[in-house]
Amino acid sequence: MPELPEVETSKNGLLLLIVGQVVDAVYLWRDNLRWAIPTHLNTTLARQVVCGVGRRGKYLLIEFEVGILIIHLGMSGSIRVVNRNVELQKHDHFELVFENGKSMRLNDPRRFGAVLFSTNGIHPLLDNLGVEPLEDEFDANYLYTKSRKKHLAIKAFIMNSKVVVGVGNIYACESLFKSRIDPRRPAGKVTKKCYQLLTQNIKSTLSEAILAGGTTLQDFTKIDGTPGYFAQDLYVYGRENKPCFICNGKITRITQNQRATFYCPQCQI
DNA sequence: CTTGTCACCTGAGCGC
DNA sequence: TGCGCTCAGGTGACAA
């Protein structure tokens, strides 16, 4: 579910709601998600003040003086901030209760997400991550240089978090469509001119999705539990056999690396 | 090193 | 209603 815009949407919500708040209690409603949740968090974070909320790729970073709480939403995770007396929902796995009576809850049905902790600001999962797509260093030259001699498909290339973080299945499909690039093209054969288009379209697609509050297909909700509205702006994702908005041809669905790819065979070459 | 596949897990939707 | 099947926003670990 959550790609970069969804994580950014969650981050922005948390910035408003939990920065400056003091942790009253930490609840681990189960001991693991994708990995074990550090059991010491209830003592480590007690009485700690949230000093900031950040994001690296699709990782949410909740900053304390004693370290950083690292949260990943996996495929089906979402975060809500509610009053602490609100009843727990099914799949609420982790909870930070604050002294102001609010509670931040991580809900994740499929449990591909993660809750981790770093005392020194570094973590193996955050090492070796590629550039942020909305930063200036992510440009045509970067992708062009990185892709030379690569034989894998352009779609897999831009979804590789060691190249650029935060571009998931939806936005990869959408950005390639807007750039009129066939998702199957070998990354190493894509011209710099095409990469110019592609980097611009990745940036604009992600930015617009952030403004719309992310894409809600099934699980994702914003901090207040309401859905994002970017789904109504999708050109190809989930539109198999529907007419292309540009040429009226049929949107096609193929499988690449066991992930669905949607594209227009007429427009994308 | 590069590329592709599997695994992790629950739930929705569909055909029968 | 219910069963069995397919599919779903991610990504680390491993195989070839």
The counts of H helices and E strands in chain A are: 6, 10
What pLDDT does residue A202 have? 97
Query: A150 beta carbon < 7 A from strand B?
Result: yes
Q: Catalytic residue at A243?
A: no
Q: Residue A182, Cβ neighbours under 10 Å: how many? A: 17
| Greatest CA separation for chain A | 59
Note the CA–C1' distance, A152 to B4, in angstroms. 10
Place of tokens 């909320």: A53
Matching residue, tokens 């189960």: A30
Note the pLDDT of residue A218: 66
The pair of structure tokens assigned to A200 is 């611009």
**Single-letter amino acid code for the residue at A266:** Q
What is the CATH code of the structural domain delimited by A140-263?
1.10.8.50
How far apart are alpha carbons A202 and A209 in whole angstroms?
A: 11
CA angle at residue A189 from A239 to A128, to 5 degrees?
Answer: 80
Q: Residue A216: its pLDDT value, please?
A: 65
> Does residue A99 have an active-site annotation?
no
A259 has catalytic annotation = yes
Q: Which nucleotides along chain B are within 7 A of a protein C-beta?
A: 2-12
Closest CA to the C1' of B5: that residue is: A257
Q: For A113 and B8, how far is CA from C1' in angstroms?
A: 10
- Whole-number Å distance between alpha carbons of A166 and A148: 22
The domain limits of chain A are 4-127, 140-263
| Catalytic residue selected from A5, A6, A11, A58 | A58
Q: What is the mean pLDDT of each run of 10 residues along chain A (269 residues)?
A: 85 95 98 98 98 97 98 96 96 98 97 97 95 98 98 98 96 97 98 98 93 73 76 89 95 96 97
Q: What was the pLDDT predicted at A212?
A: 83
Contact (Cβ atoms closer than 8 angstroms) between residue A186 and residue A154: yes
Q: Give pLDDT, residue A3.
A: 82
Q: Judge if pTM exceeds 0.85.
A: yes
| Sheet containing A78-83, strands listed edge to edge, beginning at the edge strand earlier in sequence | A23-28, A92-98, A102-107, A78-83
In whole angstroms, what is the distance from residue A29 CA to residue A90 CA?
11
Please report the pLDDT score of residue A214 as a whole number: 74
| Residue A252, pLDDT score | 97
How much is the pLDDT for A145?
98
CA angle A129, A124, A76 (to 5 degrees): 70
The CATH T-level fold of domain A4-127 is N-terminal domain of MutM-like DNA repair proteins (3.20.190)
How many angstroms separate the first and last alpha carbons of chain A? Answer: 28
> Nearest nt to A34, CA vs C1'?
B8
Measured CA A129 to C1' C10 distance, in angstroms:
14
Any catalytic annotation for residue A240?
A: no
Which of A164, A144, A41 lies closest to A94 in space, CA to CA?
A41
Interatomic CA–C1' length for residue A22 and nucleotide C7, angstroms: 42
Look at residue A217 in the predicted model and tell me its pLDDT.
63
Burial A146-156 (b: 16+ CB within 10 A, else e): bbeebeebbbb
Q: What single DSSP character describes residue A15?
A: H
